[in-house]
């Protein structure tokens, strides 16, 4: 007989909120194909046109007969949420009631909303990530290191680009980069960020960091940090070539967080950064 240590770990029982969206469908496909995942629930808001459909009808790559429903129910170990701020608020409270771990990828430039969502981590384990890719999480880390090393003689500007269907700006990843840089060099994320420029804005201040959003075509995710002095310029860029990088990262996070103690965790914890 094999020892407990040698026995295969039980698959994580996974629910996906926002299952009918672009990210949700990729999560369904990857979760259904993963032997370490048991896809047990797919969730969307009550009026969603796909309500009642089977997962395989929503996403042909997902071999699953789980039906789309409108509420998180008992039985899941973790729920991955890629929905909307309002949808995340509902799912976070419901997960807290049921004792289900939360992996949240919904983003918004709303500091009060993020603080409110974070409260659920008092009773369940939670990861609320600006981005789930390894490359972007390395970008968070190294963009701050570069800003600190270059010093105040370099102006910093952040440009993010996404497809024309994206409804929020700037992106969560753009804000994650800005937050990492501000933390690294002692800037105030609420006072020193400038979102675009128009009209007679005056001379650029030493402390300001520009944040700009592009919305174009089918762009999945493009983020560049510019560091420029009087004499040289550095450009640090990450470009996603598939949404699967985010879906795979979120699924990896759901496996990692399963069984963890209540608390607020970072994607850097999952990746060991």
End-to-end CA distance of the chain: 37
Burial class (CB in 10 A: 0-12, 13-18, 19+), 200: exposed
CA-based nearest residue to 73, from 17, 147, 24? 17
User: 247-268 b/e with 16+ CB inside 10 Å = b?
Assistant: bbbbbbbbbbbbeeeeebbebe
Catalytic residue among 162, 212, 238, 255: 162
Catalytic residue among 109, 166, 207, 260: 166
- The verdict on whether 162 is a catalytic residue reads yes
- The verdict on whether 166 is a catalytic residue reads yes
Tokens standing for residue 136: 């972007």
- Cβ proximity of 266 and 140 under 8 Å: no
Handedness of CA 101, 103, 108, 111 (dihedral sign): positive
Q: Which backbone phi and psi does 108 adopt, to 5 degrees?
A: -165, 145
Report which DSSP code applies to 121: G
101 vs 78: CA distance, rounded Å: 4
179 vs 144: CA distance, rounded Å: 9
Q: Which backbone phi and psi does 85 adopt, to 5 degrees?
A: -55, -40
Report which DSSP code applies to 204: P
Name the residues annotated as catalytic: 162, 166
């Amino acid at each position: 007989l094999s020892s407990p240590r040698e026995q295969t770990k039980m698959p994580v029982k996974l629910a996906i909120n926002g299952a009918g969206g672009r990210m949700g469908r990729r999560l369904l496909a990857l979760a259904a194909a993963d032997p370490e995942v048991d896809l047990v629930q797919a969730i969307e808001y009550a009026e969603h046109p796909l309500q009642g459909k089977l997962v395989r009808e929503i996403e042909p790559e997902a071999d699953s007969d789980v039906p789309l429903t409108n509420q998180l129910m008992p039985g899941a170990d973790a729920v991955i949420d890629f929905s909307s701020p309002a949808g995340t608020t509902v799912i976070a409270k419901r997960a807290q009631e049921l004792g289900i771990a939360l992996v949240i990828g919904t983003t918004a430039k709303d500091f009060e909303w993020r603080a409110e969502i974070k409260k659920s981590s008092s009773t369940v384990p939670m990861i609320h990530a600006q981005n789930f890719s390894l490359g972007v999480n390395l970008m968070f880390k190294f963009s701050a290191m570069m800003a600190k090393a270059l010093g105040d003689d370099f102006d910093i500007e952040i440009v993010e680009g996404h497809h024309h269907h994206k409804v929020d700006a700037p992106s969560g990843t753009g804000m994650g980069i800005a937050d990492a840089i501000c933390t690294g060099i002692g800037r105030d994320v609420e006072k020193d960020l400038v979102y675009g420029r128009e009209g007679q804005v005056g001379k650029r201040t030493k402390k300001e960091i520009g944040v700009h959003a592009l919305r174009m075509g089918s762009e999945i995710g493009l983020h560049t940090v510019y560091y420029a002095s009087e004499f040289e310029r550095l450009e640090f860029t990450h470009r996603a070539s598939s949404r699967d990088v985010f879906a795979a990262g979120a699924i990896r996070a759901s496996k990692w967080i399963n069984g963890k103690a209540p608390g607020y965790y970072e994607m850097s914890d999952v990746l060991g950064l």
